[in-house]
Amino acid sequence: MSPGRGAPLDPDGTVAVVGGCLAGLRAAEGLRRGGFRGRLVVVGAEAHPPYDRPPLSKQVLTGAWEPGRATLKDEAGLAELGIEARLGRAAVSFDADVRRLELDDGTTLIADGVVLATGAIPRRPFAEEGVLALRTLEDCAAIREALARAGLEGHLVVIGAGFIGSEVAAAAAGLGLRVTVVEALPVPLAPAVGEVVGAALGRLHEHHGVALRTGVGVTAVRRDGSTVLELADGSTLKADVVVAGVGVVPQTGWLEGSGLTLGNGVVCDQALFAADGVVGAGDVACFPFRGEQVRIEHWQMAADMGAAAAEALLAGRAAAPRFNPVPYFWSDQYQEKVQMLGRPGPGDEVVVVDGNLDGRFVALYRDGSRLGAALALSRPRQLMAFRPLLQREASFDDALEVAASFG
């Protein structure tokens, strides 16, 4: 075991990475890159080697990619890193004091360091009525098969106009299906990007022939020959395929009784430590960011957190650097790319500094006197000009000066 509280990791010890996902893989790679020579065990509940999730709602779902193309590191690649891969095995309990893991096959593992990267699972309303959700390769295959059975005359209803739901809708529309998106909020994506930008992104669906119904929730789903959705306004929709994209919850059930603090994920400090010798990474980790504890469910965040968690574990809690990222997110919908830097707050003022909300644009978010975030629709070069400003927490006036240089 590690020799003392907050001490660096023994480079010849044992590390367990729980979660065979992007964050877990980047943590394992970071440990080896940082000089860890010891036993490195990666526990993954899915039987697949680590794979990329973003293509599942885009290229894999449409058939442009075969599923194997989303693989991040195959079994041979894991072996080259000296990783002992326990794939298809889930962790069922953890004792943080002694860093002891129990797996679903009854085996136990005691480690000097542990990376918690078990991610999140989608909410699955009306699953018993055949409503699908998208998170795993198996989920993607099930949706692909359902869309193929429905054929070009089929009708897909997507519950939820968030980013995943919107990407599924866009993919299916591109395949030629009729698509309706049902969103309980009056404005899609309002909690993530604000009402002004959310309304503009919602119009993408309508511009591409996808029906968007907002301000109405789904109260029931019944199977009566076809699938029928009952909506809160008393109307109904018939569908051949129904996919729910209504958010995820962090996978922390197995950590009950572990001695860790749980609350909207595994609660971590500024260096991503949840306890001595235990770090969190990816969608499961709740960490301090700009004055609040947050979970940020972005691909780039998972990758950055995995690398940062490895660095922190190697350094030890006493010397680990503070994790201070610039969150980055993208979403491909139709032929457009939505990209966001930073994290908008609910009270931020939105200022469009390039283009307009009826086309391609760049919008800035004013958090008091500071730049809080920037979002672009198919304006990647202009957006990335704001990354260094967000890194140094620049003023909004500084951001306006950069925007003025676009011409």
Among 78, 79, 95, residue whose Cα is nearest residue 20: 78
The secondary structure of residue 253, as a DSSP letter, is G
- Taking the C-alpha atoms of residue 240 and residue 259, their distance in angstroms, rounded to an integer, is 46
Per-residue pLDDT tens digits for 203-261: 999 999 999 999 999 999 999 778 999 999 999 999 999 999 999 999 999 999 999 99
Mean pLDDT for 333-361 is: 95
User: What residue has token string 């009826």?
Assistant: 358
- CATH numeric code, 124-244: 3.50.50.60
| DSSP-assigned beta bridge partners for residue 267 | 286
At 224 the pLDDT is 79
Domains of the chain, by residue range, sit at: 14-121+248-315, 124-244, 335-404
- Place 393 in a pLDDT band, splitting at 50, 70 and 90: very high
Predicted confidence (pLDDT) at residue 1 exceeds the cutoff of 60: no
At 3 the pLDDT is 41
At 2 the pLDDT is 44
Phi, psi torsion values for 104, nearest 5 degrees: -70, -10
- Place 340 in a pLDDT band, splitting at 50, 70 and 90: very high
At 226 the pLDDT is 84
At 4 the pLDDT is 56
Longest CA–CA span in the chain (Å) reads: 65
Residues 6+ apart with CB under 8 A from 343: 289, 290, 294, 296, 327, 372, 373
Instruction: Work out the percent of the chain whose per-residue pLDDT is above 70.
Output: 99
User: What residue has token string 């980790």?
Assistant: 285
Mean pLDDT for 9-14 is: 97
- CATH numeric code, 14-121+248-315: 3.50.50.60
Predicted confidence (pLDDT) at residue 324 exceeds the cutoff of 80: yes
Per-residue pLDDT tens digits for 133-156: 999 999 999 999 999 999 999 999
Instruction: Work out the percent of the chain whose per-residue pLDDT is above 90.
Output: 96
- Taking the C-alpha atoms of residue 66 and residue 169, their distance in angstroms, rounded to an integer, is 20
Q: How far is CA 48 from the centre of its chain?
A: 18
Among 252, 72, 64, residue whose Cα is nearest residue 175: 64
Residues 6+ apart with CB under 8 A from 335: none
Instruction: Indicate the length of the chain as a whole number.
Output: 407
At 240 the pLDDT is 96
Among 206, 204, 212, residue whose Cα is nearest residue 378: 204
Long-range contacts of 72-78 (CB under 8 A, 24+ apart): 72/22, 72/25, 73/25, 73/49, 74/49, 75/49, 77/49, 78/42, 78/49, 78/50
Per-residue pLDDT tens digits for 24-68: 999 999 999 999 999 999 999 999 999 999 999 999 999 999 999
The secondary structure of residue 130, as a DSSP letter, is T
> For all residues of the chain together, what is the average pLDDT?
96
- Taking the C-alpha atoms of residue 358 and residue 367, their distance in angstroms, rounded to an integer, is 24
Predicted confidence (pLDDT) at residue 113 exceeds the cutoff of 50: yes
At 349 the pLDDT is 96
Beta-carbon count within 10 A of 397 CB:
11
Task: Say yes or no: do domains 14-121+248-315 and 124-244 share a fold.
Answer: yes
- Taking the C-alpha atoms of residue 194 and residue 197, their distance in angstroms, rounded to an integer, is 6
- Taking the C-alpha atoms of residue 333 and residue 185, their distance in angstroms, rounded to an integer, is 20
- Taking the C-alpha atoms of residue 184 and residue 372, their distance in angstroms, rounded to an integer, is 27
Per-residue pLDDT tens digits for 272-319: 999 999 999 999 999 999 889 999 999 999 999 999 999 999 999 999
CATH top class, domain 335-404:
alpha beta
Among 201, 141, 194, 130, residue whose Cα is nearest residue 165: 201
User: What residue has token string 């051949």?
Assistant: 240
